[in-house]
Structure 1
Amino acid sequence: MRIISTFMLILSFSMISSSIGLAKAMKYNHDSITIEEVKKEVDFHVLVPEKIPSEWSLEIKTYDHNGEDMGTIRLHYMDSTDENVMLGIEERKVSEKEFRQLEEEFLDRNKINVNGVEAYYQEFANNGRKLNGKRMSGGLLTWIQGETYLQMDSSILSKDEMVEMARTVK
């Protein structure tokens, strides 16, 4: 009887551990390339938010940038129905020249501290208006973390929600 109780306890613990591990793993959709695969192919540090709602899934798109294969990536975090992009993040390596150009472009935007660097927020022009019965919000949050250029966008999340997620990008 004691052996059966011990076995049941070990089996229960094993099942709980497995479900916790699965809950932390990112769900990919549309046969997307994975973060690990992207990291092997690009010449910049791929950064991802650490705090994403568990019901969201991820689809990664890759693009050429300045003639480089997979020079730019876009992370599309989709809602549980896989119908709405909740959050998009574009990433690519930034050169010194691009960095200076971006600094000039950002002069008229709202500055926010994200992970110890200046980020710039620009609200979408349709912010606050209704589209298909839903109130639009969000905008663009842009920053350079190390040598990686990031531009986060959402028409669903608020500025505060986007900034909160940006602060978890590692």
Structure 2
Amino acid sequence: MKIISSLLITLLLITVTSSIALAKETKYNHNSITIAEVKEKVNFKVLVPKKVPEEWTLEIKTPDNQEGNSSSIRLHFMDENDENLMLGIEEKKVSKRAIRKLEEEFSEGDKIKVNNVPAYYQEWANSGKTLNGKIISGGLLTWIQDGTYVQMNSSSVSKDEMVEIARTIR
């Protein structure tokens, strides 16, 4: 009985310590739901980039259904002033519709490998042009990883930076 108690206490300490470490690494804004909390609300694997610029903050959007669960989530990484969306990541459970969408809509984009799976990148039509004094860059990067449909978008982060961040998603 003492051994089981000791194991449970050790497991609890490890869990709490890893949660604290995650909280220190991720800066949330607007009293956002946390990664740990969102994982309890969805029926798919939540994937999070391990390397984003330190000054970015995260706000998680969850369109809840009547049961309080979410069929998709959006991770919004904002700049240090919390004024501009730097990178958005939408995630949802893979469905046949999502697979068809990926194959049909994005197959004409640049095919890239992200975490050993095919991904498709499409540049914005107005990429390189100026809007509100800022040059538009980036586009859409879409793939399926670990049973989760992932679509990353940005109008201020370059393709190379998006791919670099995508390759850290776990």
| Alignment TM-score, normalising by the size of structure 2 | 0.81
Match of residue 136 from structure 2: 136
Partner-residue secondary structure (3-state), 1:83: coil
- Give 1:69 shift: 3.4
| Unmatched 5+ stretches in structure 1 | 1-20
Alpha-carbon contact 2:78-2:87 (below 8 Å) kept: yes
Two-structure CA RMSD over aligned residues (Å): 2.0
Match of residue 73 from structure 1: 73
Percent identical pairs in the alignment equals: 64
Question: Considering only CA atoms, is the larger Rg found in Structure 1 or Structure 2?
Answer: 1
Inter-partner Cα distance in structure 2 for 1:97 and 1:152: 18
Match of residue 126 from structure 1: 126
Alpha-carbon contact 1:56-1:77 (below 8 Å) kept: yes
Change (3 A) 1:22 1:150: closer
Change (3 A) 1:101 1:127: closer
Change (3 A) 1:159 1:41: same
Inter-partner Cα distance in structure 1 for 2:136 and 2:101: 30
Match of residue 157 from structure 1: 157
Alpha-carbon contact 1:78-1:86 (below 8 Å) kept: yes
Match of residue 59 from structure 1: 59
| Alignment TM-score, normalising by the size of structure 1 | 0.81
Which residue identity lines up with residue 156 of structure 2 in the other structure? I
- Give 1:99 shift: 1.5
Match of residue 92 from structure 1: 92
- Give 1:165 shift: 0.3
- Give 1:96 shift: 3.2
Which residue identity lines up with residue 104 of structure 2 in the other structure? E
Match of residue 113 from structure 1: 113
Alpha-carbon contact 2:121-2:140 (below 8 Å) kept: yes
Inter-partner Cα distance in structure 2 for 1:38 and 1:24: 17
- Give 1:159 shift: 0.3
Inter-partner Cα distance in structure 2 for 1:168 and 1:82: 23
Change (3 A) 1:22 1:45: closer
Greater share of residues in strand:
1
Inter-partner Cα distance in structure 2 for 1:58 and 1:116: 26
Match of residue 39 from structure 2: 39
Alpha-carbon contact 1:23-1:54 (below 8 Å) kept: no
How many residue pairs are counted as aligned between the two chains?
149
Which residue identity lines up with residue 146 of structure 2 in the other structure? G
Inter-partner Cα distance in structure 1 for 2:97 and 2:35: 28
